[in-house]
Amino acid sequence: MFRKPNGRKPFIRLLLWMMAAVMLIIGAAFAAGTVPENGEKLFARFEGMEWTFSSGAGGWSTDLQIQPDGTFTGVFHDSEMGETADEYPDGTVYYCEFSGKFSAAAQEDGSTWKLHVDELKQKDETDKETIEDGIRFVATSSYGIELGDELMLYQPGTALEALTESMRFWAHTFGTEAQNTTVLQKWFMYSEKLDAGFVGDLTDPAVSIASPWETISADQLKALTALPLSLPEGAEQEACRWYRMDEIAEMQFTWKDGDFCFRAQNAAPQEDSVKDISGLYFTWEYEEPVEINGNKGFIGLVQSGTGDMVERCIWYDDARQTAYSLSVTAPDVDGLDLTAVAENIVTDVR
């Protein structure tokens, strides 16, 4: 006599099998880092924050703003004031206005996330050119971010030793060792594929973002600094700026395939050191003392994350109580005497 099958046993076996499968999936997800924090919860943290990809040298940057739903808008700009013609005597600006959307693809641990660029489109077609007020504007592609890319997101407090040298360069952490800083102070987003890093800074979302630098004329620069400034022979169109908050004067120019940036600021002398106003974030591969027009200074050299060489000299004029910096970014700086260029920009006024 055959026994009638118990209908409950197959159901229980099926239920147990399904529970085991779910546990395996969840365990694998945690092991692989694929269970993200709720995207909207994560991106809501960034309201009122400006994300900037910039080396700190030269006149370029890519800036992003991220909304709570993961959508973002951004602008890339690169000012090349030496690229001129009769139709645009004041230089060329390469730019890209773009928008897109991030998704939180994975939460790697308690302080690290993986983001995915789901959408990205630019406002103007690449290579579109317009001329306004003597400046040529050329549309280009977004720099530092592209469709389908994955970026790692690190929150403040992440140990710096967890970052590669290239990541630390773009996070602007070089030089913080003297301040005994061993962790990130700001949010940082990095694309390994593009070797591009964005630093997140809080801003007032109710106020439009404006550059703290004011564009001024060469005559205004000389009037503000009261310095006998001059450019090297053959140097191309310069751009002059003024940082009112710290009263820093800046002059940018191109010469012999290099992008130069000169700065000056009235400052008190510092014992056994020279104030660095260059705005560059590097650990210099070498740095040695120099003398510029009889004033104490230092010169340093490093290769940037883009492969270009960056050389910078800083010096202090006791007579005028003024700190100076002169930097150059170029594919190669062999044969360039940066101290001689510095001496010719600011002649000995003692």
The list of the chain residues with pLDDT below 70 reads 1-40, 57-58, 174-180, 203-212, 237, 281-282, 305-306, 348-350
Could you read off the pLDDT of 27-39 as tens digits, one per residue? Answer: 444 333 433 445 5
Structural domains of the chain, with CATH: 39-202 (no CATH), 213-345 (2.60.120)
Measure CA 106 to chain center. 25
Q: Where do we find the tokens 């591969």?
A: 285
Q: 326: which residues sit within 8 A by CB, 6+ positions away? A: 260, 261, 262, 263, 312, 313, 338, 341, 342, 345
Eight-state DSSP code of residue 240? E
Provide Rg for the chain, Cα atoms: 26
Q: Where do we find the tokens 């977004």?
A: 142
Q: Alpha-carbon distance 267 to 180, whole Å? A: 25
Cα–Cα distances in angstroms (integers) from residue 149 to residues 111, 116, 189, 191, 212, in the given order = 20, 6, 12, 7, 31
SS3 211: coil
Cα–Cα distances in angstroms (integers) from residue 269 to residues 321, 340, 350, in the given order = 7, 23, 16
Q: Which two tokens stand for residue 98?
A: 């773009």
Sequence-ordered alpha helix ranges (H) in the chain: 8-32, 39-43, 165-170, 218-225, 338-345
Q: Alpha-carbon distance 18 to 24, whole Å? A: 10
Residue 196: Cβ-neighbour burial (10 angstroms; 0-12, 13-18, 19+):
buried
Q: Where do we find the tokens 């645009």?
A: 88
Closest CA to 91 of 53, 138, 52, 58: 138
SS3 22: helix
Name 309's bridge partners: 303, 330
20-26 own/partner pairs: CB under 8 Å, 24+ apart: none
Amino acid, single-letter form, for residue 8: R
pLDDT at residue 305, rounded to an integer: 62
Cα–Cα distances in angstroms (integers) from residue 161 to residues 39, 106, 182, 195, 325, in the given order = 27, 22, 8, 18, 30
CB 156 within 8 A of CB 185: yes
pLDDT at residue 290, rounded to an integer: 96
Q: Which two tokens stand for residue 6?
A: 């118990």
Q: Which two tokens stand for residue 184?
A: 């990130």
Q: What is the pTM of this model?
A: 0.53
Could you read off the pLDDT of 103-157 as tens digits, one per residue? Answer: 988 888 778 899 999 999 998 999 999 999 899 999 999 999 999 999 999 998 8
pLDDT at residue 57, rounded to an integer: 64
